[in-house]
Structure 1
Amino acid sequence: MKVSPARKAAYDILLKIEAEKAFSSVLLPKYAENLQERDRSLLYALVLGVLRRQLLLDRYIKELTKGKKLDTEVILILRLGLFQIMFMTKIPGHSIVNEAVLLTGTARKSSAKGLVNAVLRNALRKLPELSYTDDIERLSIEGSMPEWLVRRWIDQFGIEKTTSIINAFNEPPVTAFRLTRKALLSAERREGITQAVLNEASASEILPGAFTTPRITPDLRRLSDEGFIYFQDIGSQMIASTVSLKAHQSFLDLCAAPGGKAAMAAAQSDKNAGIMVAAELHGSRVRFLKQNCELQGAENIRVVQLDAEHPLPFPERSFDVVLVDAPCSGTGTIGSNPEIRYFLESSDIYDLQRKQREILHQASNVVKPGGRLLYSTCSLEREENEDLIRTFMTENDDFSLVSPNLPEIFLTVEGNGRIFPDTGPYEGFCIFELRRRN
C-alpha cells in the first residue's frame, strides 16, 4: 500500500519548512498543482492546521513519548497524525494510524513504525492532561504562539485582546478577492464576471468591490488564472482603496511586489490619473510584479527596479501620492502564514524598524506639497507603526497626520487606521496618511 498523495505532500512541505525555513504560501500551490480537488483540500488543511497547532501538538507528543528524543521526520509524522485525531474527527482513527505508519516507512524511518503506531493508538484512546505554570504558558501552548510574542501582545493589548487575536489566527481564514482592472474595463464584461463570482462567493459588507469565499473553487481559480479576479486580503484591499487618485495625479508605490495594491489603485483611480510607478528591489520580484500587473490589465503601471533605502531616482517633490507598504515582521498575517511565528525573533522587529525608517525618509522626499504619503504594514507591533510615525513626525514638521479614508471602526484615537485579525475576516494591518503642507 502507498501513503495517500495529500499526506505525502503535506509531510514533504512540513519537512521543507522545518529544514529550510520555507514558506507554506509558496510551497502549497506547487505541491497542490498535480493533486485531485479532494486531495488538494486535504493537503491545505493538514499543512496549515499542523502549523497553527504545532506547539500544542509538540506538548502532547512530549507527554505521549515521555520526553523521548525523536528524529525530525518522526516528529512531523506524529504532528500530522495527532492533528487529524484532534481536529479532523471525521477521519476514522484506524485510517489515521495506518497512513502514519505507511508514511514512516516512506520517510525511511521504518525503525520508528512501532513507536508511531503505539503513540497514535494511545492518543486515540485518551489524550494526556496538560498542566501549565501560568496563563502565559497556557496561552502559548494552547494557541501555539511563542511565549515572547504572547508577552509582547499582552503588554500592548491586554490578555483578553491577545487571546482573541491568537484564536483568530488559528481559525482557517476566509479567502478574499476583488475584480481586476481587466474585468472592470467594460460594463458588459464586469456584469458577467460579477454574476459568475456571486455564484461562488459573497460580496463583502465592509468594502465595496471585495468578495469572500470559504474555499477556492475551480471556477474561481480559472478566473484568477485568466486575470479577471485577484486574491487579496480585505485588509490589504482597504489599504489600496485609500490611494484613490484624482485626474492627473501621479502615484509611486515603493516595495510594491507582488503588485496587488498598485494594480487595485490603477483599477479604482480616475481614468485620467497621471503617471503610476511601482518599484521593487530584487530582479525576480520586479519581473513577478510586472507580470502580475499585466495579467490584471494594469499595463499603465510603470515597473522599475530600485533600492528604496537610498535616494530615489525621481525629482524631489514630484508625486501626488506615495505608498510605502513597508517590509515588516508580518505579525498581522500569522493566520494565513502560520509558520512565521516560529521564524521570527524579537530582534527582527528592531532591525526592520531601522529599514522602515530609512524607506519612509526617502519616500517623503518625493511627495509634492499638498501630496499624500501613505505608510502601511501588515504588522501588529507598535515599533513598526505608531512609534515609527511619531518619530517621523517629530523630525518632519512639514507633514501632518490625517485620518485615512477607512470605515470608522478601523480608525484609532491616534488618527491612523488599525485592522485587527479578530474583528472580521481580515489580516492585521496598520495605515497612516501623512499630508505634506503646501
Structure 2
Amino acid sequence: MRLHRNLCFAVIDGLHKIFNEGEYADKVIQQLLKRDKRWGSRDRGFVAETVYEIVRYKRLYAEIADVKAPFDRDNLWRIFAVWATLKGIKLPDWKYFTDTPTRKIKGRFDELSKIRKYRESIPDWIDELGEKELGADVWTKELAMQNEQADVILRVNTLKTTKQDLQLKLQSENIETEFIPDYPYALKLKERANVFMTEAFKEGWFEVQDASSQLVADFLDVKPGMKVVDSCAGAGGKTLHLASLLENKGQVIAMDIYESKLKKLKVRARRNGVHNIEMKVIDSTKPIKKLYGKADRLLIDAPCSGLGVLRRNPDSKWKLQPEFVDNIKKTQEEILEQYSKMVKPGGKMVYATCSVLPSENQNQIDKFLTSEAGKDFTFVKDNKILAYKSGFDGFYMALLEKKK
C-alpha cells in the first residue's frame, strides 16, 4: 500500500481537530470527506478508517511514539508513523518520517499489548470502573469487541416496504446485504457503502440503526391505536421505529430537551412517510406534567455514559469524565422518577441505555422499584446486551408494568 500525501495530510488535520480542539470524530470525518471532489471511494475509505483507527488506539500509539497531549503536528506525524508501521505500510522518505525507529515500535507494541489499558487503549479510570462493575474476564472481552469496527446495519421501514424488497432494491444499486437471525427488521451490509446516496434511502425505505437498538421499540410491546411517549427522543431513530410498529395508527409523542434534534426528526419522519408523531420540547416540567397518567406506553431511552457504543464513537472515551458518569446516574434517577408518572394504570414502560454498566442499568431499576415513584410498577423482564456476545452494540432495556 502506498501512502498519498494529500490523504495523509487530511488524516493529520482531522486528528488535530479531534485531539486538540475537542471536535467530534464523526463530524470531522464528514468535513474531511468533502475536501477533494476527485477522491474515489477508496481514498475516502482510507481517510475515514485511518482517523477512526488512530482515535481508537490513541493511548497505545501515543505511548509507543513517546508523545504526550496536547499533540503538535510533529507528534501527530509520529503517531501516524506508529500506525503505519504496525500496519506493515512502508513509510515514504518524507521529512515527517525521518528517524522513525521501526524495530523499536514493534518491540514496544509487543510489550504494551500485554497490559489491557494500553492494548485496548482506554483511560485508567474507565478501565478500573469497567472491571469493578463487570469483572475482569467480561470487561476484557467487552473492551476488545468495542475496538472492532462496527457493522453497518439497516432497519427496514415497514410502512413502505418489506425486508425482502429492500434487499432486492439495494442489490439493484450494487449494495449486498444479509438477514440477521432473530432481528426481524435488520439487514447487514456485506461491505461498507454510502447508503445515504441510494434511491431506497431517499424514498424512506430504511434507516441506519444498530441491531441492538432495533430491539428497544419491540420490547415496548406497542399496538396500533396506542398513545406512546418517547421521552428522550433525540433525532428519533426509535421514535420512527415505534411509529412504524403502530402502522401510523394512534400517536407517538416525541419529547426532547433539544429542539434542534426534534427538527431533524421532523425531516426524517417526512421521508419515512410517518404522520402520527407530535413533537414536544421539554423546556420546563409542564410538558411532562400535562401527560401524567396519559401514556399507554412510555420509552425512556435515558442519557448515559455510552460505554456500550464505543465502537461507533471511539472519541467519546477520551471526552468522558468520571464526574459526568456520576452526574448522569443522578439524572437517570430523576428522569425515571418524574417521567414514569406519564404511564397510565395498566400501561407499560421501557427504560433503556446504551451503557454496559450495571450501575446505570439494572441497579437503577432496582432503586426505582423500591422508591415512592416506583411502588406502583412491577418488573416484567430485562435484556442485558454485551457487544462481545451479540456482535452488536452494548445495550440494556427493562420492561415495567404499572399496576391497574
**Fold match by TM threshold 0.5:** yes
Q: Pick the aligned partner of 2:108 from 125, 129, 152.
A: 129
Aligned length: 393
Paired residue type of 1:338: P
1:244 is displaced (CA, Å) by 3.6
Look up the match of 1:356: 332
Change (3 A) 1:146 1:287: same
Task: Name the structure 2 match of 1:50.
Answer: 54
Distance 1:295 1:84, change over 3 A: farther
Q: 1:107 corresponds to which residue?
A: none
Evaluate the alpha carbon distance shift between residue 51 and residue 308 of structure 1 in structure 2; reply closer, same or farther with a 3 A threshold: farther
- 2:379 pairs with one of 369, 393, 401: 401
Taking the aligned partners of 1:276 and 1:68, their CA distance within structure 2 comes to 49
1:3 Cα deviation after fit: 5.5
Paired residues for 1:100-179 under 5 Å: 101=95, 113=96, 116-119=97-100, 122-123=101-102, 127-129=106-108, 138-179=115-156
CA shift for structure 1 position 322: 0.6
Q: Supply the distance in 2 between the matched residues of 1:70 and 1:305 (Cα, whole angstroms).
A: 38
The TM-score, its normalising length taken from structure 2, stands at: 0.89
The equivalent of 1:41 in structure 2 is 45
Distance 2:354 2:365 in 1: 15
8 Å Cα contact 2:157-2:206 kept in structure 1: yes
Question: What secondary structure is seen at the aligned counterpart in 2 of 1:230?
Answer: strand
User: Within 5 A, what are the aligned runs for 1:214-293?
Assistant: 214-218=190-194, 221-222=197-198, 223-269=200-246, 271=247, 273-293=249-269
Determine if the alignment matches structure 1 residue 432 to structure 2 residue 378: no
User: Per-residue deviation at 1:233?
Assistant: 0.7
* Shift, 1:219, TM fit: 5.6
* CA RMSD of superposed structures (Å): 2.6
- Equivalent pair of 2:348/2:401 in contact (CA under 8 Å): yes
Q: What whole-Å deviation, never above 9, does each CA across 1:314-363 have from its counterpart, x for those lacking one?
A: 23210100101111110111111111111112221110011111222221
Measured against aligned partners, the alpha-carbon deviations of 1:131-159 in whole angstroms (never above 9, x if no partner) come to 87997xx1001110112111222222222
| C-alpha spacing 1:297/1:272, structure 2 compared with 1 (3 Å) | closer
Cα distance, 1:181 vs. partner? 4.5
Is the 1:175–1:231 Cα contact (8 Å) retained in structure 2?
yes
Q: Is the 8 A contact 1:202 1:211 kept in 2?
A: yes
Residue 309 of structure 1: how far off its partner (Å): 6.5
Tell whether 2:59 aligns with 1:82: no
Please, which runs of 5 or more residues in structure 1 have no aligned partner? 102-112, 404-415
Quote the Cα distance in structure 2 between the aligned partners of 1:313 and 1:44: 45
In structure 2, the partner of 1:94 is 91
- 1:191 deviates by 5.1
Report the CA distance between 1:160 and its aligned residue. 1.8
Which residue of 300, 305, 309 corresponds with 1:329?
305
Tell me the secondary structure at the aligned position of residue 353 of structure 1: helix
Contact 2:8–2:47 under 8 Å retained in 1: yes
One-letter code of the match for 1:380? V
Superposed displacement of residue 278, structure 1: 0.7
Q: How many angstroms apart in 2 are the aligned matches of 1:219 and 1:418? A: 30
Deviation at 1:25, TM superposition (A): 2.1
Q: Aligned pair in 2 of structure 1 residues 308, 155: CA closer, same or farther (>3 Å)? A: farther
SS at match of 1:329: coil
Tell me the secondary structure at the aligned position of residue 29 of structure 1.
helix
CA-to-aligned-CA distance 1:263-283 (integer Å, 9 cap, x gap): 0111123x3741111112122
Give 1:213's aligned residue.
189
Supply the distance in 1 between the matched residues of 2:285 and 2:400 (Cα, whole angstroms). 19
Amino acid at match of 1:389: I
What SS does the aligned partner of 1:332 have? coil
Q: Structure 1 residues 148, 219: closer, same or farther in 2, change over 3 A? A: closer
Q: Percent identity?
A: 23
Q: CA deviation at 1:29?
A: 2.5
1:218 shift after superposition: 4.5
State the Cα distance separating 1:296 from its structure 2 match: 2.0
Distance 1:26 1:191 in 2: 33
Task: State the shift of 1:235 in Å.
Answer: 0.9
Q: 1:118 to 1:231 in 2, by over 3 A?
A: same
| 1:80 Cα deviation after fit | 2.1
Could you tell me which runs of 5 or more consecutive residues in structure 2 were left unpaired when the two chains were aligned: none
Give the SS at the match of 2:397.
strand
Q: Supply the distance in 1 between the matched residues of 2:13 and 2:24 (Cα, whole angstroms).
A: 12
CA contact 1:282–1:305 (8 Å) conserved in 2: yes
Deviation at 1:167, TM superposition (A): 1.0
Distance 1:389 1:8 in 2: 48
Q: Secondary structure of 1:423's partner?
A: helix
Q: Residues 252-294 of structure 1: CA distance to partner in whole angstroms, max 9, x if unpaired?
A: 101111211010111123x374111111212221211211222
Distance in 1, matches of 2:105 and 2:146, equals 27
Shift in alpha-carbon separation, 1:50–1:68, aligned structure 2, 3 A: closer
Contact kept? 1:308, 1:362, Cα under 8 Å? no
Assess if the C-alpha contact under 8 Å between 1:245 and 1:273 holds in 2. Answer: no
AA aligned opposite 2:145: A
Identify if the C-alpha distance between structure 1 residues 220 and 197 changes in structure 2 by more than 3 Å, giving closer, same or farther.
Answer: farther
2:19 and 2:71 in contact (8 A); partners too? no
Is the counterpart of residue 417 in structure 1 residue 396 in structure 2? no
Paired with 2:219 and 2:236, the residues of 1 have a C-alpha distance of 16
| d(CA) in 1 for partners of 2:120, 2:230 | 36
Alpha-carbon spacing, 1:369–1:336, altered in 2? closer, same or farther (3 Å) = same
Distance 1:294 1:81, change over 3 A: farther
Which of 198, 201, 212 is residue 177 of structure 2 equivalent to?
201
